[in-house]
Structures are given as structure tokens and as C-alpha cells.
Amino acid sequence: MTAGSQQPPEPEADAPDSGVADSVRAAVERTMRATAGSAASTRGRAAELVDEVVRRGREARDELARRGQEAGAELARRGQEATGEVGKRLEALERRLAEVESSLAAEGQDASKKTGTNPKAEG
């Protein structure tokens, strides 16, 4: 910085967006001061451009936040669907296991009738 230049104002701690806007404004103002023969209208236009950049940045931030919320909601929905599908599959497996256990129990009873032994007493 040159000896005649001023330091940009410190950003306010309670306004996160103002810090970025103030920094950009300060940089533009330093550039304008450094340019010899700048007209006041050029400064006004530069301020308008800075305001436009800040506005678009806020819009982009808001859009990103909205998309993030939508993505989170979609993930939650898919998670619920997946949980339901896992539950259905678990119920089907439980039914199949019960059928297998019943079949094995029936076969064990048939075998004990043929041999005359009690498979429960042997185990």
C-alpha cells in the first residue's frame, strides 16, 4: 500500500455478508483512488457493480442452501424407503426360516417314528 492509502474498514462481526461486501468495496475504492483522473461517475458505477456482485453472491448462496435442503429431504425420503424395503425382506426371511424350521421338525418327527427313537431325548 502507498503512504497515502487508507486501510479498509473492519467488517462487522454480527453481519457475515457485510464483511465480504465491505472488503470488495474497499478494494474497488483503493483501485479507484489509485487511478489518476477518475471521475465521480466511475466511482458510482463501480459501487453499483460491487452491489450487483454482492447481490448475485447472496442469491447464489440462497440457491445453494435451497438445493441443499432439497437434497437432504430426498436423502431422508430414500432412507425411509430403504428402511421399509429392508423390513419387508426381513419379514420374508423370517417366514422362510419358520418354514424351514417346521420342515426340519416334521422330518425329525418322521424319522423318530421310523426308528422308534426320540430325537429330543438324544440331543
The confidence score (pLDDT) of residue 121 equals 57
Band of pLDDT at residue 1, cut at 50, 70 and 90: very low
What average pLDDT score do residues 20-39 get? 73
The confidence score (pLDDT) of residue 2 equals 46
Residues 6+ apart with CB under 8 A from 1: 7, 30
Q: Beta-carbon neighbour count of residue 20 at 10 Å? A: 15
Alpha-carbon distance of 27 to 16, in angstroms, equals: 18
What average pLDDT score do residues 3-14 get? 48
Mean pLDDT for all residues in the chain: 80
pLDDT single digits (tens) 76-111: 999 999 999 999 999 999 999 999 999 998 888 877
